[in-house]
Amino acid sequence: MKLGVFAVLFGDRSLEEALDLVVEKGLEAVEIGTGGYVGDAHCNPVELLENPAKLQQFKEAFDKRNLEISALSCHGNPLHPNTEIANNDHQVFENTVKLAEKLGVETVVTFSGCPGESEHSIYPVWVTAAWPEDHPTVLKWQWEQKVIPYWKQQDQFLKAHGVRVAIEPHPGFVVYNTETCLKLREECGTSIGVNFDPSHLFWQNMDPVVGIKEIAKHDALFYFHAKDTSIDPQNTAINGVLDTKPYSDELNRSWIFRTIGYGNGEETWRNIISALQLVGYEGVISIEHEDSLMSVDEGFSKAAELLKGLIIKERLGEMWWA
């Protein structure tokens, strides 16, 4: 395993400045945003695809620093009922896949997307209950009419370009847990796998270690985001975990995203890294920073130091058992 970072947290810096900071922290890989919700501060796929000289310059920025591009990320909603949004996010996805092929990057990260409840919807509808009967009817329509046809087509597109997609399970989209991850893969194709991000699973009362093992059993563990979540026991006891208050309302929310180790302790993360080692994951641990209580530099530095120590211990353990 290698340690890397999702570089969108350095969106206020130039690509070169961001990469120099990554090198300074001793990391080995960088995940780059190409559009969608995460933006394209460091990479415009259309510009690079149309200009071979700029594409070469982009590649050289990583090569001369001995950094790997671990993934290209274009988190969006290509199933959005607003066709303008859906078409734009789909085009970003297609361009990202084509760019990944040009760069020799194996993995593109995105969301599954979420349709509306019918052809007449304006906004996405995330189904979270089995009753009233409307809900399972909507869910069946979403999967059969929108989700499966779209992702079956993308599976073929991905295979044609020699790239795979790591779908990030995220509440609000049709893929949000282990079951829905594996359903998408089973229904739509083997170029579709999982970007495992524990931060979206902790507050759903899921065990990341169990999830890693289950997803790996299906050869679907494609990528890993390192981000933590802190659950507020008092607020959760009052209101449960489904929370629509803004992330900036940290005092009153049931949970918030935190830097690694500040939501769940080192032992939890030690077990997660060990589980990745046990299932044979050889990819990148990509640090993602969305901690509203820490600056970017502080959160990134603390996550990098903790994870470097854990990965070194795992490597030493691997050498010992070898």
Burial class (CB in 10 A: 0-12, 13-18, 19+), 37: middle
pLDDT digits 0-9 by tens, 90-137: 999 999 999 999 999 999 999 999 999 999 999 999 999 999 999 999
Kindly state the DSSP code that residue 193 receives in the 8-state scheme. E
pLDDT digits 0-9 by tens, 192-207: 999 999 999 999 999 9
What's the structural domain count of the chain? Answer: 1
CATH number of the domain within which 195 lies: 3.20.20.150
Beta strands, E only, the chain: 2-6, 29-33, 68-73, 107-110, 164-167, 192-196, 221-226, 228-231, 255-258, 284-287
Section 158-166 average pLDDT: 98
Give the 3-state secondary structure percentages of the chain, helix then strand then coil, rounded to 5. 50, 15, 35
CA dihedral 260, 264, 265, 267 (to 10 degrees): -100
Section 29-48 average pLDDT: 97
pLDDT at 322 over 50: no
The candidate with the shortest Cα–Cα distance to 34, out of 7, 3, 63, 53, is 7
Give the domain range for residue 207: 2-321
The candidate with the shortest Cα–Cα distance to 110, out of 164, 66, 187, 58, is 164
Q: What is the pLDDT of residue 278?
A: 97
- CA gyration radius for the chain? 19
Of 322 and 6, the structure prediction assigns the larger pLDDT to 6
Tell the residue number behind the tokens 């734009």, with chain if given. 88
Which long-range contacts link 80-88 to residues 24+ away (Cβ below 8 Å)?
A: 80/113, 80/114, 80/115, 80/124, 81/115, 81/116, 81/121, 81/122, 81/123, 81/124, 82/122, 82/123, 86/113
Q: What is the pLDDT of residue 317?
A: 61
Section 156-178 average pLDDT: 98
pLDDT at 229 over 80: yes
Q: How confident is the model at residue 312 (pLDDT cuts 50, 70, 90)?
A: confident
CB 276 within 8 A of CB 247: no
pLDDT digits 0-9 by tens, 2-16: 999 999 999 999 999
CB 120 within 8 A of CB 89: no
Burial class (CB in 10 A: 0-12, 13-18, 19+), 141: middle
The candidate with the shortest Cα–Cα distance to 169, out of 111, 228, 211, is 111
Q: What is the pLDDT of residue 156?
A: 98
Q: What is the pLDDT of residue 318?
A: 55
The candidate with the shortest Cα–Cα distance to 227, out of 145, 132, 302, is 302
pLDDT at 321 over 50: no
The candidate with the shortest Cα–Cα distance to 146, out of 173, 109, 110, is 173
pLDDT at 319 over 60: no
Q: How confident is the model at residue 260 (pLDDT cuts 50, 70, 90)?
A: very high
pLDDT at 315 over 90: no
Q: What is the pLDDT of residue 220?
A: 98
What integer best gives the mean pLDDT of the chain?
Answer: 96
Distance of CA 176 to the CA centre of its chain: 11
pLDDT at 67 over 50: yes
**For 226-261, what is the HEC assignment?**
ECEEEECHHHHHHHCCCCCCCCCCCCCCCEEEECCC
Q: How confident is the model at residue 313 (pLDDT cuts 50, 70, 90)?
A: confident
